[in-house]
Structure 1
Amino acid sequence: MAGAHSVHTVRWANGLASDGHEVHLISAHRLTGALDGGVAFHSLPIGAPWGYLAAAGSLRNLLRCIQPDILNAHYATGYGLLARLSRFQPLLLSMWGSDVYDFPEKSTFHRRLLASNLRQASALGSTSRCMARRAAETWPHPHIFVTPFGVDERVFLPSSRSAESGCLVIGTVKALKHKYGIDTLIEAFALALQQLKPRALRLEIAGSGPEEKSLKALAVRLGVAEMVLFHGPVEHERVPALLDRLNIFVALSRLDSESFGVAILEASAAGKAVVVSDADGPAEVTLNGSTGYVVPRNDPVAAADAIVRLARSPDLRERMGAADRQHVLTHYTWSRSLALMCEAYRETIRIHRRATATGESA
């Protein structure tokens, strides 16, 4: 049960179906992606956000018809609340980021609501170790599984691209929101350009969002607008081709609620050296000094220094890029993520059965 408008939801559902499991996707959001034939889609009669409360009865009826072995609710607040109201067990509650980092900071009520959702679950799923630790600050659940959102290493592949006519391409693929530090990236790019002259440098930014106008104005104010290309919104299918244009990938998120680094891992699988901030998720998926550089958030000077270091050394970029891909192949492939999620399902079912047999709460 998750937001059907998310590409991540569709990937989980399709991936599990391709592994031979019977998958039902239940959502209070409109489906926007393409589901495999092995996935049955069920749209709740009341959409989000009101559906998180009002659709509980409909969900209970639906679950009685489906009779699933397990319910996996994605996002610990909205869908976590709906799952709790359904009273279905066994329940694996998968946390995504802002639901654990930002939501409980709004008020005591929000923290208590999240704690109730976490406590009701048979087990928790977290895409990262750092988010698992943060969740424990709200409710120290005894059963939590790390289920990273891996990337398809067969789609994100290294290329033999070198700098075109001495032009190095720095880039990122992120929503143009304050959270993701695109302004810091533009400032770092301007600083790096000063150090690397007369070496040509270009910045490419893929994504859309509310800060697009102000970010373009910032590029003008810093005198780098002619060297910055805004691609606008991009479908996920186009991301491999965009990464192929880059020499260095940069992600300077400023909030810890960026609790996992999918875009970073996609660049890593494509063999790109990366520069990331020390926000929780980016720092966890990057080995500082080996697969890339981890720099302090909101620090364009440190980011520029890392970019310059990589720009001046093709050997360093190649070495880090190779280490980056190997890191993904070892820890973050899509097949490994599916295996970890399925193991979390099996363990959650066992936890529920043990709790039922002993008369304990799940």
Structure 2
Amino acid sequence: MKLFYLITRSEQGGAQTHVLDLIRGFRGRADIVLGVGEEGYLAEQVRDSGIDVHVLPHLVQPVSPAKDWLALWEINSLIRKFQPDLVHAHSSKAGFLGRLAAYRAGVPAVFTAHGWAFADGVPWGRKIVATVSERRAGRWCERIITVSEADRILALRHRIADENTLVTIRNGIADTPRRAEPTNTDEPRIVMVARFARPKDQSLLIRALEGLNGEFSLSFVGDGPTRREMEALTANSSICHRITFLGARADVAELLAKAHVFVLTSNWEGFPISILEAMRAGLPVVASDVGGVCEAVVDGETGYLVPRGDEVTLRDRLKRLITNPDLRTRMGQAGRRRYEQHFTLDKMLNRTWQVYEEVLREHRR
């Protein structure tokens, strides 16, 4: 099988980690190439895995008609050169252009939606544009994989595609021997792993923690366009001495192993890999109840779900975990068991390969 993976950004993030896991998982079973809009983390990791990487310089965000047409030409050229059996596109821009190119070339396509741009919490203007474009692109592919059942239901409600086209395959990640091992005498360490962008809303976490007494520290892991703004907000905060910005890191598992609590304050999500990484490490998770987050975090058992933007509830749940080491341990262990039962990499790879085989069988008829 010849597989052509396509994604817009190469920075370290959930979608990029997902694509990297697919490529590494299938490289022994398929001939693979990656098309990506820029150099960076993903391109480097895929090359190091012995896979051909093609940088498509016009595949960029945001929408730019001139660049988009050139990106479509670049994708078309790569399809003609590689002659893939199947195109698997990720992210909105690559998903739209990749499906269009595959449709024109007569090549079956699969699209993975790592969350929808018409989800609750997204600005209305963006919702309208996303709904119209996704309805059109939904006609150009054989399957749309959603990473949570919540996203599948949302797509059906917005008439993106029919039930036979939409399939849920929740994210899964490889296990690691690293577990959270901080002692209860340590200062409670809170960590948030996320790109610095509007949907992630790191400012909510800063404001919530400003109202807490006692000892704790907070580490932000990640980079992105709103990082400087968050650093400026922190500099004027009463807890600035407790907050550290670590940037994008390759040693996330090691950082989680040294933490006590994981937090994700997103305004919208698909099914965050960072939450699975925290559960794998045995950390309790406090997260916004958006998208498919509730399919990973069991409220009151593996952590806490907080209404989107609810600073008061977020502060209360963090206080419970900061002040109760036994509760942290109990919830962290429950999260680890849930990861083992539902969110391993093998489960995701096996189901994804089944979808590939189904699509190719249907295409040959």
TM-score (norm 2): 0.83
Match of 2:30 in 1: 21
Secondary structure of the 1:192 match is coil
Deviation track 1:69-108 (CA, whole Å, cap 9, x = no partner) reads 2221222444323331342332112212255545994375
Q: Which of residues 319, 335, 338 in structure 1 aligns to 2:330? A: 319
SS in 2 for 1:163: coil
C-alpha offsets along residues 259-317 of structure 1, whole Å, 9 cap, x if unaligned?
12111111110000111111213333211111110011211211111112122322211
Structure 1 residues without counterparts, runs of 5 or longer: 358-362
Q: Is the 8 A contact 1:291 1:321 kept in 2?
A: yes
Are 1:260 and 2:271 matched, yes or no? Answer: yes
1:38 Cα shift?
4.6
In structure 2, C-alpha distance between the alignment counterparts of 1:125 and 1:28, rounded to whole Å: 22
1:143 aligns with 2:156: no
Query: 1:46 offset after TM fit, Å?
Result: 4.8
Decide whether the 8 Å contact of 2:118 with 2:130 is kept in 1. Answer: no
Structure-to-structure mapping, 1:55-66, within 5 angstroms: 55-57=71-73, 59-66=75-82
TM superposition shift of 1:217: 4.3
- Which one-letter code corresponds to 1:15 in the other structure? G
TM-score (normalizing by structure 1): 0.84
In the alignment, what sits opposite 1:41? 53
The equivalent residue for 1:241 is 254
74-83 or 298-307: which moved more?
74-83
CA RMSD of aligned residues (A): 2.7
Larger Rg: 1
**Alignment match of 2:282 (pick from 267, 271, 274):** 271
Distance 1:45 1:271 in 2: 40
Q: Is the 8 A contact 2:131 2:160 kept in 1?
A: no
Partner of 1:225: 240
Q: Distance in 2 between matches of 1:100 and 1:229?
A: 33
Cα distance, 1:20 vs structure 2: 2.6
Residues in 2 aligned to 1:323 and 1:16: alpha-carbon distance in whole angstroms: 31
Q: Does 1:161 align with 2:171?
A: no
Partner SS, residue 106 of structure 1: helix
Q: CA–CA distance in 2 between the matches of 1:178 and 1:25?
A: 28
For 2:153, the equivalent position in structure 1 comes to 133
Instruction: Give me the whole-angstrom Cα distance separating, in 2, the residues matched to 1:217 and 1:41.
Output: 37
Aligned length: 342
**Conserved? CA contact 2:155–2:161, under 8 Å:** yes
Distance 1:79 1:190, change over 3 A: same
**Paired residue for 1:95, among 100, 107, 113?**
113
- Matching residue's letter, 1:14: R
Q: Distance in 2 between matches of 1:107 and 1:96?
A: 15
Contact 1:104 1:111 in 2 (8 A): no
Q: Give how far 1:248 is off.
A: 0.7
- Distance across 1 between alignment mates of 2:228 and 2:271: 27
Q: Which residue number corresponds to residue 299 of structure 1?
A: 310
Kindly indicate whether residue 227 of structure 2 is the aligned counterpart of residue 212 of structure 1. Answer: yes
Q: In structure 1, which of residues 250, 257, 269 is the aligned counterpart of residue 263 of structure 2? A: 250
Q: Which residue of 1 aligns with 2:3?
A: none
| Matched residue type, 2:173 | V
Letter aligned with residue 74 of structure 1? H
Contact 1:4 1:10 in 2 (8 A): no
Q: C-alpha separation between the residues in 2 aligned to 1:56 and 1:181?
A: 33
CA distance in 2, matches of 1:12, 1:77: 20
The change in CA–CA distance for 1:93 and 1:172 in structure 2 (over 3 A counts) is: same
CA contact (8 A) 1:22 1:38 kept: no
Hey, what's the Cα distance between the residues in 1 that align with 2:94 and 2:304?
A: 35
- What SS does structure 2 have at the residue aligned with 1:124? strand
**Matching residue's letter, 2:168:** V
1:253–1:83: structure 2 CA closer, same or farther, 3 Å change rule? same
Q: Which moved more, 1:274-283 or 1:221-230?
A: 221-230
Deviations 1:215-268 (A, max 9, x none): 34444544111222222x122x211121122101111112x2x21211111111
- Please state if 1:73 is matched with 2:89: yes
Question: What is the 5 A alignment of 1:186-201?
Answer: 186-193=206-213, 197=214, 200-201=215-216
Partner of 1:360: none
Aligned in 2, Cα 1:267/1:112: closer, same or farther, shift over 3 Å? Answer: same
